[in-house]
Amino acid sequence: MNILAKQSILVMGWAVVGSQVVTYAIVQMLAPDYLDTAVKVSPMVSAFVAAPLTYAFFRQNVKLEESNKQLAIANQALGVETEIAKKEATLDPMTNVLNRTHFVRAIEENRSTKDNAGFFLMLDADNFKQVNDTFGHAVGDTVLLKITDVMRSTLREGDIVGRLGGEEFGIYLPGVTRQQAYEIAERIRMRVEDTSIEVEQGEFYNVTVSIGAVFAAKQHNVTQLMQMADRNLYRAKGKGRNQVVFDAYLSKEGTYQTRYQSA
């Protein structure tokens, strides 16, 4: 016997007992001559009326509970889908680092809530077009993923990294000195340089990157920092690639000095 039937019988039994008590009291007062007949008929009438009503009531409750369970499952699934949608809207789909829009927002938020200096790095895979043209886009994608892995394993908790487009990445290092920023940038460059990708059986391609960096002065917004870091990046490219170039200081007058140099 299922739970619904057991609950129906239990409630119906109490209904019959209650009906008899009430019937006995009323008939005793109003028509005592019919008491025996009323007591005999009352349980049958009560059972006849209570049975279908009780069953219908509990059946409706069961349906309601099942609907609530299904709703809870649907809400949970919707929550998961919402989190996935948020993640997809925030991250670059291939490298799984922040996309350009959310990278900029993350830096702006960090700089608005924390009063500390930082450095902005612009990183670019060397000869990337040649890689795609020579070995195909699948190898090019592998290059980007290898670079991303190196950045993740090298950067500290709280550092911000994003894909700016194509083979270009941005990194924001909050709360570091110039020497610390340079060491992080050099570590990334050297670890990428030690990375090789098998492009054909027995043939390997050595990945390298160029990095340009600037001091993230408060008076410069993220767009300006990108522009200045980009100039240093292409300075590194012009000097032979696989290099780190810093342009890190403000003059005593508070103006930005365009002075290209390796750290």
H/E segment holding residue 78: helix 35-90
* E strands in the chain: 118-125, 160-165, 168-174, 196-200, 203-206, 209-215, 244-247
Encoded tokens for 255: 């103006």
Encoded tokens for 81: 């889908």
Nearest Cα neighbor of 56 from 8, 11, 20 is 8
Encoded tokens for 71: 């709703």
Angle between helices 35-90 and 3-30 (to 10 degrees): 140
Which residues, including other chains, have CB under 8 Å from residue 213's CB and lie 6 or more apart?
A: 119, 120, 121, 122, 181, 182, 185, 229, 232, 244, 245, 246, 247, 248, 263
Which of 109, 167, 193, 200 is labelled catalytic? 167
Cα 145 from Cα 149, distance rounded (Å): 6
Does the annotation mark 193 as catalytic?
no
Query: Angle at Cα 23 formed by Cα 19 and Cα 28, nearest 5°?
Result: 155
Helix (H, G, I), strand (E, B) or coil at 262: coil
Do 20 and 46 form a contact (C-beta atoms < 8 A)? Answer: yes
Do 50 and 16 form a contact (C-beta atoms < 8 A)? Answer: yes
Cα 25 from Cα 37, distance rounded (Å): 14
Catalytic residues: 167
